[in-house]
Amino acid sequence: MNNWPPVKGELISVKKPNDETIFVGKVSKKLLNGKAMLILLMNNNEYIDDELNKIKSLGYDHKGLLVLHPHYTWNYVDCKFDNKDIVHHINNVAKGYNYFKKMHLQ
């Protein structure tokens, strides 16, 4: 179990309760006085988190953003990401998993 909150700028993987989708993204900023964190997704830039509609102070287009809460399962991605090929590979693996799940597990 990781200490809350995750470090800003770090890359993490996230799994929401009751959802098998694995999200990968960078920790962006604190929300709701530190009770949540905004994650910029790398593997799903079309995802829209309904939680963002509850936060009126955000002026963002909500696509590709995830609200992370302390009860979600999350982990730091333990790798150096100076190499763009590695980032591309992670995006492909996550997209492939989500596609496989949609086509074969539902």
Is 34 contained in some domain? Answer: yes
Is 56 contained in some domain? Answer: yes
Summarize pLDDT for 52-103 with one digit per residue, the tens: 877 766 666 678 899 999 999 999 987 655 555 556 666 666 666 565 556 5
Is 1 contained in some domain? Answer: no
Contact 24, 43 (CB under 8 A): yes
> Which residues, 6 or more positions from 5, have their beta carbon under 8 angstroms from its beta carbon?
27, 30, 34, 37, 70
Domain count across the chain: 1
Query: Could you give the percent of the chain with pLDDT greater than 70?
Result: 67
Question: What is the pTM for the complete model shown?
Answer: 0.73
Taking the C-alpha atoms of residue 47 and residue 63, their distance in angstroms, rounded to an integer, is 5
Taking the C-alpha atoms of residue 67 and residue 80, their distance in angstroms, rounded to an integer, is 24
- In single-letter form, the type of residue at position 24 comes to V
What is the domain extent for residue 87?
A: 11-104
Is 25 contained in some domain? Answer: yes
Is 3 contained in some domain? Answer: no
Taking the C-alpha atoms of residue 23 and residue 73, their distance in angstroms, rounded to an integer, is 11
Is 5 contained in some domain? Answer: no
pLDDT the model gives residue 85? 58
Is 2 contained in some domain? Answer: no
